[in-house]
Structure 1
Amino acid sequence: MHVPDGFLDAPTSVATGAAAVVIVGAALRGARRELDDKTTPLAGLVGAFVFATQMLNFPVGAGTSGHLMGGTIAAVLVGPWTGVLVMSCVFIVQCLLFADGGITALGTNIILMGVITAGVGWLVFTLIRKVAPNRLGVVAPAAAVGALISVPVAAVAFTLLYAVGGTADISIGSLAAAMIGWHTLIGIGEAIITFLAVGSILAVRPDLVYGARPILAQRDRQLIVKGATA
């Protein structure tokens, strides 16, 4: 979904760029509450994983490309704010060193593939966690559902941005059908990968999964209460 230079007009690119600066600034502050001796090294590994998977691009049509995104897995593993920072760093490196996504569209790509996928994925994950049983077994499926939903939502957001400031002579209907259709399929693949990755880490080191910390904290409190009453 990397947007190239010139695909959106200048006002739209400037607006998304300004929004990206504000959100990344907020993420820098929010990440202070999430980063610790466990999250910090994992953030680097997550960034490398997302970078590698996003380098595998295939054409979707209308001058755009499709690939796995990774926003949800980043948010669940290292926290939503840190996830946004990880994704933003990936896009900056891809843009400046690999010409993957335009420089003038960097803010757009951060919003679409970083902020939206991490934010929507984390929101869906959190909602499922609240209504589902408070068990570690819920974490990986909830993350998978979040990933599944976040990808087509980002495609819808891209289509709306193009409807506002698109510069190419492309039918909105054709663009929407291509983007949403392809990215729904990509969302399925991303859900599977997210489920396997989060599930694998949970099986070995559940304490490394940021999204599992409330469950682990409650379990520890219950153990303390049981020990006190024993």
Structure 2
Amino acid sequence: MHVPDGFINAPVSAAAGVVAAGAVAVSLRGARRELGSERAAPLAGLVAAFIFAVQMLNFPVAAGTSGHLLGGALAAILVGPYTGVLCVSVVLLMQGVLFADGGLTALGVNITDMAITTTVVAYLVFRGLVKLLPRTRRSITSASFVAALLSVPAAAVVFTLIYAIGGTTDVSIGKVATAMVGVHVLIGIGEAVITALTVGAVVAVRPDLVYGARGLHQPLKLRVNGELVDAPAAEPAPAAARSSRKVWLIGLAASVVLAGFVSFYASADPDGLEKVAHDKGIDKKTEEHASSDSPLADYGVKDISNGRLSGGLAGVIGVGVTVVAGTGVFWALRRRRTSDAASTEAPAAQEKVS
């Protein structure tokens, strides 16, 4: 659903940019609270890289149409809503600047639509369902599925509203809305499956790493005199024993494999927005991307003629750049949080001494 340059006029694109900048600023402050542990920053960077990788895997949803992960639901549930907005925003920035995917003047529109809308809608739905359902791993996975499913058509609705205000072609908004929501409900099913499988896999092995599963506790059952009873609670494992390094390495390896190898087999059909734009004529004023001459434009490495090698190498580079950029941003936020806490504690300590 990457909106290219030329779909939305300059004033509305600028307004969307202001909204996106404001949301990112709020998320930068909120993410400091979510990045509470030392392992949170690299894990958030990994989530951004994983979303980048999975977004390269377009899957067929209808005749001549494909879809791909948007990632807002996955990011919000794994690392928190504020950090999730930043994760998807980092991905969109890398895609726009390096891979000519999503217009640069439309970056604010894309962040508003793909990062903010999907993350906020998904997390609100997820939290609401978690409160209603039993506090179990299955409930976390089920809530993830529903949240992701609803987040995609929500993004389609927001794009339609933005286009209704600032679209550059005269097209029936009713037809655009019907087509966008219809195809993105189908794409939402794919998003829901990917999100639920990923969240379920992490919750199964390390629920402590999933932001949306905080407080999840499955008591060990013992059979006593033929009846199942809760075993005494075990002491929490020390931090060293709960290292997230293995999870991080596995996640990074999976991202590299998906982007570098599996992406070659992704559907070549246009995604939902591209298909609707072509069928309804809203792409008549599409502008050439400012980064169209980038060495990595269109997810291929310039001057490498072998398509499989070119696309795979571009995917691996994208994963590497995204994980470095994302981790750098989140480390900076983490250090800022630590320094703020230290500056707050210092006067309090001096006051006690005096």
**TM-score normalised to the size of structure 1?**
0.88
Is 165-174 or 81-90 further displaced after alignment? 165-174
User: Match of 2:129?
Assistant: 128
Q: Give the superposition deviation at 1:168.
A: 2.0
CA RMSD of aligned residues (A): 2.3
The letter for the 1-side match of 2:88 is: M
Q: Is the 8 A contact 1:18 1:107 kept in 2?
A: yes
Q: Is the 8 A contact 1:124 1:146 kept in 2?
A: yes
User: Match of 2:23?
Assistant: 23
Measured in 2, the distance between the counterparts of 1:192 and 1:208 equals: 20
Q: Is the 8 A contact 1:2 1:65 kept in 2?
A: no
User: Match of 2:112?
Assistant: 111
User: Match of 1:42?
Assistant: 43
The unaligned stretches of length 5 or more in structure 1 are: none
Identify if the C-alpha distance between structure 1 residues 165 and 186 changes in structure 2 by more than 3 Å, giving closer, same or farther: same
| Secondary structure at the counterpart of residue 69 of structure 2 | coil
User: Match of 1:161?
Assistant: 162
Write out aligned runs for 1:181-196 (5 A).
Answer: 181-196=182-197
Identify if the C-alpha distance between structure 1 residues 59 and 148 changes in structure 2 by more than 3 Å, giving closer, same or farther: closer
User: Match of 2:346?
Assistant: none
Deviations 1:23-75 (A, max 9, x none): 10010010001112232222122111111122345899xxx984220100100
Q: Is the 8 A contact 2:157 2:181 kept in 1?
A: yes
Give the length in aligned residue pairs.
219
The letter for the 2-side match of 1:4 is: P
Q: Which has the higher contact order (CA 8 A, sep 6+)?
A: 2
Is 146-155 or 169-178 further displaced after alignment? 169-178
Identify if the C-alpha distance between structure 1 residues 66 and 107 changes in structure 2 by more than 3 Å, giving closer, same or farther: farther
Deviations 1:59-92 (A, max 9, x none): 99xxx98422010010000000000000000000
The unaligned stretches of length 5 or more in structure 2 are: 220-229, 235-354
> Of the two, which has the highest radius of gyration?
2
Measured in 2, the distance between the counterparts of 1:129 and 1:149 equals: 15
| Secondary structure at the counterpart of residue 3 of structure 2 | coil
The letter for the 1-side match of 2:9 is: D
**TM-score normalised to the size of structure 2?**
0.58
Write out aligned runs for 1:172-187 (5 A).
Answer: 172-187=173-188
Deviations 1:155-209 (A, max 9, x none): 0110011111100233222322221111100100111111111111111111110
Question: If each structure's helix is expressed as a fraction of its own residues, which one has the higher value?
Answer: 1
Measured in 2, the distance between the counterparts of 1:56 and 1:153 equals: 21
Write out aligned runs for 1:137-148 (5 A).
Answer: 137-148=138-149
The letter for the 2-side match of 1:208 is: L
Q: Kindly, what percent of the aligned residue pairs are identical?
A: 59
